[in-house]
Structure 1
């Protein structure tokens, strides 16, 4: 009898643990909870950690690189880290932009109303938040319509 009770409790515990894990918000949903659009992360987030002090780590399935608007070449490392603070993502590591011939890290992303400002040291560039409604894909960025039309097996993870 004790064995059956143990088996029942073990089964319920495992079912509860699976439910808790599957009920956890995705990294994209967490961005939205902090008032950032999901499209500032590329597709392919595998996991994330968010600590009580606001520090976070996001893990992609692989390094990711793509061009935006024919102007900016962006690179996301497999591990992205930083800190969420009121209206901004600070102390960023793992996201960089190519300027001329150099890759320079994006240090901070700040939301001001309907604009996002991306900081590279003392310099910044601002864009409307609705530019980031969709998640970019590695290699083709936000301009993947022709790629997606050619391959209907693609599944969005955003």
Structure 2
């Protein structure tokens, strides 16, 4: 082997490891959610890492604030926390959803009857029943506009995302 081949090998192996780690984090989180009776696409595609403690407290780290769409627009904070149990992701912090020109915090997701094909979304004032198929694949989440929206959201209703 030449010197160039030897120095390129560690770089190439590091790159493969990094790319597999990024893919693995998202797919592993999807697997965790699915093993708890939830759809795998509740979190967007830009998950950096996550942790689950023995009490079921899930913390998901994203690349940063971002906006995506399920049925309506949603904004994820860079850290999202919730209590994970079978069929539920409750006590959610770090996610807001647009409802009729208002931005409301999403408090949780719950699958009451897996055969119904529906997921219940708790937006504080009400529970919405949405098709589970909207949440099967992690959505692409983009940072454009999310930061400005959150500043306005916090001022209007006196709430700020946990940082």
- Displacement of 1:102 in angstroms is 3.2
Structure 1: gaps (5+ residues): 1-17, 140-158
Higher percent of residues as helix: 2
The answer on 1:138 being equivalent to 2:141 is: yes
RMSD over aligned CA atoms reads 2.4
Structure whose CA Rg is larger? 1
The alpha-carbon distance between structure 1 residues 67 and 131, as it changes in their structure 2 partners (threshold 3 A), is: closer
Structure 1 counterpart of 2:63: 61
Structure 2: gaps (5+ residues): 1-16, 143-163
Structure 1 runs of 4+ with >6 Å offset: 22-25
- Displacement of 1:35 in angstroms is 1.3
Structure 2 counterpart of 1:127: 130
Higher percent of residues as strand: 1
2:70/2:134 contact within 8 Å kept: no
TM-score normalised to the size of structure 1? Answer: 0.66
Aligned counterpart for 2:39 among listed residues 37, 40, 50: 37
Structure 2 counterpart of 1:82: 82
Q: Determine the C-alpha separation between the residues in 2 that align with 1:73 and 1:119.
A: 15
Task: Report the 3-state secondary structure (helix = DSSP H, G, I; strand = E; otherwise coil) of the residue aligned with 2:34.
Answer: helix
TM-score normalised to the size of structure 2? Answer: 0.64
Structure 1 counterpart of 2:111: 111
